[in-house]
Structure 1
Amino acid sequence: MALVGVEELRAAQRRIAGVAVRTPLLPCPWAQDGRRSLWLKPESLQPTGAFKIRGAYNRLAALSAEERARGVVAQSSGNHAQAVAYAAQLLGIKAVIVMPEASPAVKVANTRAFGAEVLLVTPERREEVPAELAEEHDYVWVPPYDDPYIIAGQGTVGLEIGEDAPDQLDTVLVPISGGGLISGVAAAIKLTTPGVRVIGVEPELAAHAQGSLRAGTRVVWPVADTYRTIADGLRQPSLGVLPFEHVQAYVDDIVTVSEQEIRDAVAVLAQRGRLVAEPSGAVSTAAYLYRAGELGGRVFAAVLSGGNLEPTLLSELLTA
């Protein structure tokens, strides 16, 4: 498959204008230490609380009239689910969303509130059921990351970082799981802001992407293993096929962070940054806080990919 290029990225940027928020790039004086500095891209400010609306709307808005009439089906632990439901509601398209039973209740409730039909399944069935529904009802499948329209939509995050970044920016930190976000961001950064490094961040307990980049082939983790991490949005067992090609072409490195580091980053973002981040969205900040010395950069931008988390979990992380 061809990699997403500047033309596809710019087309996505035009398509999602007025639907996805053009989130700011925020300076973080509380994270400066004289040697390095941090800027945050808070995608938690999107109408669905995460970056996923960019790719979902770009994908659905590009459907033909015949495809829209058929309806769509998607699978997700929460943020893609909400984004597809919201985009479908805006465009008048029926949406059926398959979600793992362990999905946070707030994400399930929000997906239903946007008008989608939600089916809860065991984690092992999350990939099978959507295919069965698409076959039975002729729904259009909307993948969470393995699709050029999804990647291009997510890549608008990278276009905005490149347009807003300080001149000294040298490193962009991006959460990684299935790979749609980092694929789009990395393509946008490398094609429009040359010289800036792109580094993926994932939990130690779901580190398939780091293994894949280093092995030169897609590594697949057992689903049960990935469910050990608190970062529920980063529990995919492997990179997608097309995302892996983008990762190989454009991503400089992938680092991991521990569960405690993720928890601490959520608390720091709330207390010092005044930003609500779900654990999955906080991993990039965790990498800056605990790995920046190893990474060698001086001016970092970190994508805070989402802020959808249970209030009880947020309370727990703030009082730990």
Structure 2
Amino acid sequence: MRAIVVERTGGPEVLAPADRADPVPGPGEVVIDVAAAGVNFIDIYHRSGHYKMPLPFTPGIEAAGTVTAVGPDVTGLSAGDLVASSDVRGAYAERAVIDADRAVPVPAALSAEDAAAAMLQGMTAHYLTHSTYAVQPGDTVLVHAAAGGMGLLLTQYVKLLGGRVIGTVSTPDKERLAREAGADEIVGYAGCAAAVRELTGGEGVPVVYDGVGKATFEDSLAALRRRGTLALYGAASGPVPPFDPARLAPSGSLFLTRPTLVHHIATREELTTRATDVLTRIARGELRLHIGRRYRLADARTAHEDLAGRRTTGKLLLLP
């Protein structure tokens, strides 16, 4: 099979197509023919070495595809089933292995591309708006990068829960996409805290959903109301520098959290609850996906360059 292999960590140039042996499922595992793989910032962190991975490795943790082989001790899944997962081992390939208890059946109304585009970002948007800070009707929240794949889904979930969204974007085209997703107000990144204060009568917001990191961190804190929560779920612009938590007290007894999806789908029950909500809402048309670009497997380098360069909107997919 063809796969993308990282022999050494570094820039996008280390993403090299190669031939690899077809995977064989072990106990509790299934193999899928990958129909579509999601391209995510965590893939960049793995490729660059920011998150350590044993070398060599095939990147990608999110995919959807058809089960082709089932290992021992697997129940409930059979060859021919269409499944999706955000816990794939080596999704940037024609075939990949998934632990069976991490695979979710795809509803008949959804395509493999829809499922691949929905799993990681959809479940992240779910836990952020339901668990990290449970949005209440009437809440005004700040969503950074509101036209990105995460931002568009976060915006839609906040609106479904009765909230008002202030979104940050960098271009008129991105503003259009964010407004189509339901954003009520759009502001630029520069000076966004002051704009948020003005739009909330000086109070600030109860939560900021921030996947940008270093470039937005200070404004995110400054935009919060008393006892507000900064949900720092990513670092697209780089990691936040060392931070003295004593700063949170005079700013209003603020809460700062660095959540991650793995801890919110730790059990099979949590996984299926969040995935079912996301996939069902997409199937019903309550959540809309925006697949910004599709790339051939051999063009994984270009996909990483586009994502890191903020030249994209919505979700990026690799199509093996």
Q: TM-score, structure 2 length as denominator?
A: 0.35
Of structures 1 and 2, the one with the larger relative CO (CA 8 A, separation 6+) is 1
The answer to which structure has the higher helix fraction is 1
Higher gyration radius (CA) = 2
Q: TM-score, structure 1 length as denominator?
A: 0.35
